[in-house]
Copies of this chain bind each other. A is one copy, B any other.
């Protein structure tokens, strides 16, 4: 079996989802460490922090106050990376003009939301049960549905979601007047990831343009479908379920793997097993199964080094405004990119060769998956209380 050799030799692996290579150096895990260590996060947080701009009832930077919300509460980010209204920008494009070729820009508009996961300041997804995570997924689904283009191939699914999932009792956000192209839902957790607030929350950036990463994935998935007649992630989920060595956990609807091409030490990919194009394709039962998958990943992460595990995570799915072909090429999945490497205090940096050459990892995804499979027990914090 030639694959076993890869446990010992330096090699490159290909990421078919975004079309790039990375370097794997499994022999290098014995290297000593003299550099920066992250401080273990021992601080016990209060369940309500009067200074937190996300806690219920508190005032935010621009003066608005949060309601006494229960779970998943969304509001427009006071410091959005994109604006809804701005001056026009229409550069004059001249054929073969050097400035038109090398100084290309395009306007980007949109709206950014913040969405809390819980009213409790000290709660994380790892602390919550699948049933407690469900309202988050329901809110994601309703926000996605309400922002979908009226001519979208999934408009019937969107209508169904808005009819059958009860409106968020804490209030909902209306979509902007101008139709936007993509909705990026992501969570950034922990000081190691530069996150400024421990209150559990995610961000939702909706933009007039399709961002690079989902754009590259869409192109790769479309090409694969055209060449092989099957979906890339359909084939991949089936193959990984058969191989087993990179599987962390699964239920009927979702497969959790450390992907073959993982860049981050304990990177995880959650893949829908059937052709789910977007959140609004999920059935009631699948939404609960998705909550279960998120619970399993985040609890295992915290158990791995017995710490509040930092990560960035996010959903990739069909654009808000897209063609029939783009919707068909989309395959719902969630990425988790965590920086920790060997303990709560040793992190990986994507620097040096990784910036100038290509990403590089030491432990193999197979070793990472084995460790995550082995730490599925009760959340380590429960027995400390």
Contact = CB atoms under 8 A, between A and B. Distances in A.
Nearest to A37: B191
Interface stretch (A94-102, A162-170, A275-283, A321-329): A94-102
A10 B356 contact: no
A357 interface: yes
Nearest to A32: B61
Nearest to A17: B102
Nearest to A21: B212
B81 A34 contact: no
B351 A194 contact: yes
A239 B14 contact: no
Contacts of A184: 353, 356-357
Interface stretch (A125-133, A203-211, A284-292, A369-377): A203-211
Interface in A230-276: 232, 235-236, 238-239, 260
Given A197-B34, A351-B188, A260 B11 contact: no
Interface stretch (A1-9, A64-72, A135-143, A295-303): A1-9
B188 A352 contact: yes
A384 interface: no
A37 B106 CA distance: 33
A79 B28 contact: yes
B2 A92 contact: yes
A6 B104 CA distance: 11
Interface string A1-37: 0110110111111101000111111011011111110
A204 to B, nearest CB: 10
A195 B352 CA distance: 9
A193 B349 contact: yes
Contact of A211 (B24, B203, B357): B357
B212 A20 contact: yes
Interface stretch (A82-90, A116-124, A148-156, A172-180): A82-90
Contacts of A235: 98, 101-102
28 contacts: A3-B91, A3-B103, A5-B89, A9-B107, A10-B86, A10-B107, A10-B108, A10-B109, A11-B108, A12-B105, A21-B209, A25-B81, A27-B83, A28-B80, A28-B81, A31-B79, A98-B236, A99-B239, A102-B235, A102-B260, A188-B352, A193-B349, A194-B347, A205-B357, A207-B357, A213-B355, A312-B351, A312-B356
Given A8-B87, A23-B108, A212-B358, 8 more contacts: A11-B89, A22-B212, A96-B228, A188-B351, A194-B351, A312-B356, A314-B357, A335-B355
Q: Which 9 A-B pairs have the closest CB atoms?
A: A194-B349, A314-B356, A35-B196, A211-B357, A188-B352, A212-B358, A14-B104, A34-B196, A9-B86
